Amino acid sequence: MLKLRQIYQMNNLHKLFFKAFSNQTRLEIIQLLKKEPLTVTKICDKTGFEQSRVSHNIKCLEHCGFVKATQNGNFREYALDKETIIPVIDLFEKHIQKYKERLKTCKIIT
Amino acid sequence: MLKLRQIYQMNNLHKLFFKAFSNQTRLEIIQLLKKEPLTVTKICDKTGFEQSRVSHNIKCLEHCGFVKATQNGNFREYALDKETIIPVIDLFEKHIQKYKERLKTCKIIT
DNA sequence: TAAGCATATGATAAAGTTGTCATATAGATT
DNA sequence: AATCTATATGACAACTTTATCATATGCTTA
């Protein structure tokens, strides 16, 4: 009984983890932060995204432990928490290289 | 110019990759297949999921290179492609252990 | 302290995803 | 060949996620 619940919780956490990454906005932010720490405004400039779109999504990334913020007077500078994200992204490259055509043509995930 | 396009494509592939994992049905299937290869019917029995729900989602996992199928007369037995999935799942445990409370309380991803 | 920039946040319409139903296909068994 | 069992698939309603808008907060500098 308890075991079933544990399995459920585990899957649920996994789901949350992966959802954090399965969003265009958040992935583009991560991509940019791989190069250098940035403020919300600078991310907006570089991506063309609406300011509130970036704020909402970076808040999610921060809350879930993927990025860290340092307050600098009026500014908040966001940086990747390299411990997790970099290895995660890098690990997937191999799979993506091998299966990219298949990923692109899947009818279920789009 | 080309570079921007490459970055876009890369993010798009990443997105597809993560989407494959950010679904309760597919995660539960992966969880079960970690133990042993199974048919659609057996997955239905173990999870209580509708047959077409399992078929649709396992097709996605197969198409994208996460599971392999072997035809056995009337049956198709699905097995995890251990090359990618096992290390992926395992890599995330650390992050999930550390940040589980935060993942659970994020308002953006649910 | 007023005005200006930087960022945050709640509500919601629009877009995207999911499970289910109905039905199809295809090998096995009678 | 008819039936049965296993799996696959298209369509679509229900549900979920997203970006945007309007507005709020809060630091900074005149």
Write down the pLDDT at residue B26: 95
Q: Which CATH number fits domain A2-81: 1.10.10.10, 3.90.470.10, 3.40.50.720, 3.30.70.20?
A: 1.10.10.10
If residue B94 lies in a helix (H) or strand (E), which one and from where to where?
A: helix B85-105
Tell whether domain B23-105 is in CATH 1.10.10.10. Answer: yes
pLDDT of B14-55, one tens digit each? 888 889 889 999 999 999 999 999 999 999 999 999 999 999
pLDDT of A89-110, one tens digit each? 777 776 677 777 777 777 777 7
Interface test with B, best of A3, A6, A17 (most B CBs within 10 A): A17
Take residue B75 and report the two structure tokens written for it: 């049956």
Cβ–Cβ under 8 Å, residues B54 and B29: yes
Residue-wise burial string across A10-20, b where 16 or more C-beta atoms lie within 10 A, e elsewhere: bbebbbbbbbb
Write down the pLDDT at residue A26: 95
pLDDT of A26-51, one tens digit each? 999 999 999 999 999 999 999 999 99
Write down the pLDDT at residue B8: 46
Identify the three-state secondary structure at position B26. helix
CA distance B9 to B4: 9
Tell if the CB–CB gap between B60 and A12 is shorter than 8 Å: no
Residue-wise burial string across A47-67, b where 16 or more C-beta atoms lie within 10 A, e elsewhere: bebeeeebeebbbbbbbbbbb
Write down the pLDDT at residue B82: 81
- Residue B11 Cβ under 7 A from any strand D atom: no
pLDDT of A43-72, one tens digit each? 999 999 999 999 999 999 999 889 999 998
Residue spans per domain, chain B: 23-105
Report the mean per-residue pLDDT for chain B: 83
Sign of CA dihedral B29, B71, B61, B56: negative
Q: How many Å apart are B33 CA and D21 C1'?
A: 45
Give the residue-averaged pLDDT of A16-32.
91
Identify the CA nearest to B103 among candidates A29, A90, A66: A66
Write down the pLDDT at residue A99: 77
- Residue A107 Cβ under 7 A from any strand D atom: yes
Write down the pLDDT at residue A12: 77
Write down the pLDDT at residue B44: 98
Write down the pLDDT at residue B85: 78
Residue scoring higher pLDDT (B77 or A102): B77
Write down the pLDDT at residue B102: 77
Write down the pLDDT at residue A5: 40
Q: How many Å apart are A72 CA and C2 C1'?
A: 23
Identify the CA nearest to A14 among candidates B48, B58, B30, B38: B30
Write down the pLDDT at residue A28: 94
